[in-house]
Structure 1
């Protein structure tokens, strides 16, 4: 009997997101390490470029992006859903998924490469060549890790921003700690797609990497326990979202952080992407980045790349919001006003992005 196969690895941010969802939803699957052989024989032939996670379904369909993986299985088995039905909760969950998937790569990569480098190099080698000697694994890890380590300045992690990144991350941990004092997950006793957006960076990098994991457990033990609930769910397929579409007041600081830190970056990204797309034909492949721009974090201004994938993810909450009417729209507007995040739905319209052959293209 065929089953679903998850190709990934324990050190992979997005594999952590996909695995946590599959485990809670109790989707049957086998996990296969993405060794060099697996890349050559499975991932490159199916996807066309080296990326994880990849899911090959029991029907031999290939799924690559974590959001598409989740939505594929949600469509197959809608209940119990990781998408709240209430407009305010669902909008908040979608926004937090974007924030976790895209913006929280900054602290995830900072702590991995500035605090856990020696350890992670051995892990890269062990993932690529599990049967090699420790010495060979270290050498392989040095080669495999180059693009990841080299991504730091493109994410905005520079010597002058390290303090701001850490201050932001510590603030986030404090906000989540306050929330998890009274709630098991973001919106009650059931994980949402927002929880899955956060679990990728907070588990695979910031919890699992040794030095940053020690820090989380010491300074934010409630967040560490939430991570543990996410990756080893105590009640798979169980729990409920809070009644009456309640978004707890303890989540407002997280949404406000989105408004202060990330929204200005998205505004610049929309502007740059719209200008680039003006003369492009439908179906044109979209570059992963469109040059560099300035951003400010914690009062420190530096440069980072203009990442276009953020806008594909952002379409999800924007599409949901624009489909709301009447009382549902009013509930969503009240939520955004509470968090100072009204600017997210005031962003100018930008060219539609779709995915084709596992890459983003102009619709």
Structure 2
């Protein structure tokens, strides 16, 4: 009897579905993708997960997985083949950092470009996903209703009108840095993708490559990045290696430096605010957002929501970093110093967090 495939409930327009889909294709895991229309949310996702979210993956033995990072980690444990986590310290930490960067920071330009350059197209796409049998005009009206919270989230995440030029300047600089890297290497750490590649593919495929105006822009100004997206979404049979001897390409240092300069101060302030919130609300689950705080891009200052989930993602990086000692720690510290990551070395961690649905909570004490 042929084994049942995994079932992926998601959407082509979905940031994190793009991440999971690329992983499933790279690992050559048998799966069937089902577009998450209104009926799927009502009949499958809400009963199984408890809230409306994609992607959701159902394994052949009927285990329901949600959250792109946890889906990948669960499938890594179930399937053989080349791992997406490098086993050497500098590459592994850099890969974890770049996953966090893609998941939790590149959402700013992704949401900005979608809702401020591709808005009408996106609303039509949301309507077509939700009601595939409706007329185009009906789909547009449905899309306007469904997409309104997502469009509003662009501003909450930092894409205020006065920040648009700075967001675009930062994104274009990232495209230049990635273009220089992909001129020399097909993936971040060699000839096969890592968890860092899968972190970057979510925003760079689902929003920046597929959305029409953003896609035209990427293919025009950063064709090497567009080619990497295409490699990620149409992978060759399992092959390739991470660079030998824990080599970290010099071309990745500017990308890490950008992450540390832009994202890490926000994570530091988020950690301080989470500590304060948890002291004032003992035993309670952290909400998805706990107020607003400042951030800076390209010399401009804006405001965005404080997202505790980002600290759960950073906690993965910190756990790995703190597990290192001796020569491995020294090698990683040298990499971090070179990339401007002193803030990461000295990062003051909040109380330990555990994921709980769409929010995070204090981890149970042992």
Shorter chain as denominator, the TM-score bin is over 0.9
What residue is the counterpart of 2:34 in the other structure?
A: 32
1:276 and 2:277 equivalent?
yes
Distance 1:188 1:220 in 2: 20
Report if the CA contact (8 A) 1:47-1:358 is conserved. Answer: no
Report if the CA contact (8 A) 1:55-1:62 is conserved. Answer: yes
Report if the CA contact (8 A) 2:11-2:35 is conserved. Answer: yes
Report if the CA contact (8 A) 1:64-1:358 is conserved. Answer: no
Q: By how many angstroms is 1:153 displaced?
A: 1.6
What residue is the counterpart of 2:296 in the other structure?
A: 296
Q: Any idea what SS the aligned residue of 2:290 has?
A: strand
What residue is the counterpart of 1:350 in the other structure?
A: 350
Deviations 1:88-142 (A, max 9, x none): 0000000000000010000001110111111111100000011111011001000
Seen in structure 2, the aligned counterparts of structure 1 residues 357 and 288 have a Cα distance that, compared at 3 Å, is closer
Q: Which runs of 5+ in 2 are unaligned?
A: none
TM-score (norm 2): 0.97
Distance 1:46 1:361 in 2: 21
What residue is the counterpart of 1:228 in the other structure?
A: 230
Q: By how many angstroms is 1:280 displaced?
A: 3.5
What residue is the counterpart of 1:361 in the other structure?
A: 361
What residue is the counterpart of 2:195 in the other structure?
A: 193
Q: Any idea what SS the aligned residue of 1:160 has?
A: helix
Q: Any idea what SS the aligned residue of 1:31 has?
A: strand
What residue is the counterpart of 2:183 in the other structure?
A: 181
1:332 and 2:347 equivalent?
no
Q: Any idea what SS the aligned residue of 2:213 has?
A: helix
Q: By how many angstroms is 1:237 displaced?
A: 2.1
Q: By how many angstroms is 1:63 displaced?
A: 0.5
Seen in structure 2, the aligned counterparts of structure 1 residues 358 and 270 have a Cα distance that, compared at 3 Å, is closer
What residue is the counterpart of 1:92 in the other structure?
A: 94
Number of residues of Structure 1 aligned to a counterpart in Structure 2: 361
1:123 and 2:152 equivalent?
no
What residue is the counterpart of 1:153 in the other structure?
A: 155
Q: Any idea what SS the aligned residue of 1:82 has?
A: coil
1:113 and 2:115 equivalent?
yes
What residue is the counterpart of 1:263 in the other structure?
A: 264
Deviations 1:275-296 (A, max 9, x none): 00114444x3221111001111
Distance 1:314 1:75 in 2: 21
What residue is the counterpart of 1:306 in the other structure?
A: 306
Q: Any idea what SS the aligned residue of 2:110 has?
A: helix
Report if the CA contact (8 A) 1:53-1:65 is conserved. Answer: yes
Select the residue among 65, 68, 74 that pairs with 1:66: 68
Which 4+ residue blocks in structure 1 deviate beyond 3 angstroms? 279-282, 356-359
Q: Any idea what SS the aligned residue of 2:324 has?
A: coil
Q: Any idea what SS the aligned residue of 1:295 has?
A: strand
TM-score (norm 1): 0.98
Report if the CA contact (8 A) 2:351-2:362 is conserved. Answer: yes
What residue is the counterpart of 1:217 in the other structure?
A: 219
